[in-house]
Structure 1
């Protein structure tokens, strides 16, 4: 009867029950201190059960809270407002550095973009393609690329220049002129425009990445000028393709009428 009451009230395991039953009475003997020793043993067993980690719910909740707060802050996604503010800050700095550039360099660079823009703009307005103007744009682009390549020689040759006149700086400056010469050998204007775009990209990479001593206003001016030149060449190539498609369609219609 006593083991059943102990199992129902204190939820002790089976091993504990075998020790707290009649065997425990025989172990301590039939004397007057049996009841007191039995009560002390029961108290000790109850304390051990109350301290066991399997029956303490606070430990479970603590582990859950610890697992819940293990998220690191750098995994959080940036809000679009932060990215927009950073982009606006970069644009403002670029425009400010462009305004701080020397006036002769700024005005002459912008004037040098007029021949590029003046070729596709009238053709787009009139809706006609002029091969002579397109070839003139390719020729002017080749001259501009050669100028951008030779400009690096003038930067590396002075004695107090941060760029050394080594093989890297001087040989890289000859790559854009060679690509410009190759662009003039193509009979197709589209192929020449693609070659000039490659040469402009290589020259921009040299000026922005390989030669960091250039001032910031010059790098911004080079990026803006390269973008305008590349868009002008692409517009001329697109107008040529569009005019060829129109010409082929008109020829097909004329042959079908016959």
Structure 2
């Protein structure tokens, strides 16, 4: 009975007997094989550790970039007191500016303001007066552009006679000339407003070498010119919409 149980339970099949398990060489007999196996396992461990550290660094950088791109920018709003103080400072600069510059600039704004007032007073839209205002505005824009040449050409001037100063000063006259080619006064006035805006942008931000009082004077003058042109355009549109008797 016992031999039968031993044969059934402890008998290994022939296929399993054929399988051979590789044996490690005995210690001390083949040192090169042991050292190569140890070096292989060590390199594999170092590779896994470096790979894990690189993955951790990549995840950290990804979270930082995500936080950078998804963070909502915080804009600091100006309080009314700060705006009032800046306005007072600007008016103070305008008062401290040279008197001839202030008086001549204000006198140069009279044709812009007088033409819309004349048409409103008469109650009729006059195309000749509107074209005269447009022509005077084109001359003013050309003067503002050419004034940069006179400021950059002297030897002791803070502005250099380079491409930035001289080439950009020709842009407002080109826009002003294009404004005179339109048959419709409205299109010409819009083109002239663009010319005045470009000239103001050059004087304030792109070419910031003018005195501060002159910048304030330029802002005030440009606002008056633009508002007068818009008033003429509005009066023209209102007169066209009125029914004819």
Aligned pair partner of 2:232 in 236, 248, 252: 236
C-alpha separation in 1, matches of 2:140 and 2:76? 44
1:163 is displaced (CA, Å) by 1.1
Which runs of 4 or more aligned residues in structure 1 lie more than 6 Å from their structure 2 counterparts after TM superposition? 75-78
Distance change (3 Å), C-alpha of 1:77 and 1:214:
closer
1:84 is displaced (CA, Å) by 1.1
- Output the aligned Cα RMSD: 1.8
TM-score of the superposed pair, with normalisation by structure 2:
0.68
* Unaligned residue ranges in structure 1 (runs of 5+): 1-74
Q: Which residue of 2 aligns with 1:186?
A: 182
Encode CA deviations 1:172-224: one digit per residue, 9 max, x unaligned.
Answer: 01110011110111111101100000000000001111222211110000000
Q: Which residue of 2 aligns with 1:168?
A: 164
Aligned pair partner of 1:212 in 208, 214, 223: 208
* Unaligned residue ranges in structure 2 (runs of 5+): 1-73
Encode CA deviations 1:107-166: one digit per residue, 9 max, x unaligned.
Answer: 000000000000001211222101110000000000000000000001111111111111
Q: Which residue of 1 aligns with 2:82?
A: 86
How many residues matched? Answer: 173
Residues 57-72 of structure 1: matches in 2 within 5 Å? none
Encode CA deviations 1:70-123: one digit per residue, 9 max, x unaligned.
Answer: xxxxx8987xxx711101101100000000000000000000000000000121
Residues 78-227 of structure 1: matches in 2 within 5 Å? 83-227=79-223
C-alpha separation in 2, matches of 1:218 and 1:120? 26
C-alpha separation in 1, matches of 2:205 and 2:159? 13
C-alpha separation in 1, matches of 2:75 and 2:158? 42
